Amino acid sequence: TQLQDDEIEAYAASGGHVVHCPESNLKLASGFCPVARLLAAGINVALGTDGAASNNDLDMLGEMQTAALLGKGVAGNTEALPATQVLEMATINGARALGLEADIGSLTPGKAADITAIDLQSIETQPVFDPVSQIVYSAGREQVSHVWVNGELLLSDGELTRINVNRLMADTGSWQDKLQQQS
């Protein structure tokens, strides 16, 4: 968030990647990432949520919306960070940052079948003129209907398929009690 122009140039020359976590930056008041300048310099910028302690919700759809809006404000340019670019930051650019772009990050034959289905038929996402724009600016995690990881269905009609939610909530409550007792 504090990079100067010469530092951006040097970092671009190094081939490094940046993981942008806008909601964490906002919560921690750590500054504003110059995403448009980083991208213009040729730096691969991925999108992240940071850890639960500095973000709370770990919601990638919310992160995409925040990144898109904040990126325009920081750049002072309504055309900075268009929806397609933000979606790429959340998908293929993240895979690139991890060195896994040959395996994940896009729907391509031979790659892992990691897919998130988002239901854009709710009133909050209507009307739909540009699905990518609707996903970035209007959809929320409540519109995620299905998730497949490496072809395995993990969320079906909004219900987890491999995790017992009641047990998870009980375990969470137990850990919360233990942590409160230690503080």
Q: What is the model's pLDDT at position 125?
A: 93
Asked if residue 60 has pLDDT above 90, the reply is yes
* Residue range 58-82: mean pLDDT, rounded: 96
Q: What is the model's pLDDT at position 53?
A: 80
User: Which amino acid belongs to residue 25?
Assistant: N
Q: What is the model's pLDDT at position 40?
A: 97
* Domains within the chain, CATH numbers bracketed: 1-105 (3.20.20.140), 113-183 (2.30.40.10)
- DSSP per-residue string spanning 99-122: T-TTTSSS--TTS---EEEE---S
Q: What is the model's pLDDT at position 25?
A: 94
String of b and e for 63-84 (b: at least 16 CB within 10 Å)? bbbbbbebbbebbeeeebbbbe
Taking the C-alpha atoms of 139, 142, 145 and 147 in order, what is their torsion angle to the nearest 10 degrees? 90
> Is the backbone of residue 25 left (phi > 0), alpha (psi -120 to 50) or beta?
alpha
Half-sphere exposure for 128 (CA within 13 Å, toward CB): 14
Model pTM? 0.90
Percent of the chain with pLDDT over 90: 92
- For residue range 72-124, what is the model confidence (pLDDT) as tens digits? 999 999 999 999 999 999 999 999 999 999 999 999 999 998 999 999 999 98
CA distances from 35 to 15, 16, 76, 150 (A): 16, 14, 12, 30
Q: What is the model's pLDDT at position 12?
A: 97
Residue 115 token pair: 């897919």
Residue with tokens 């009133």: 123
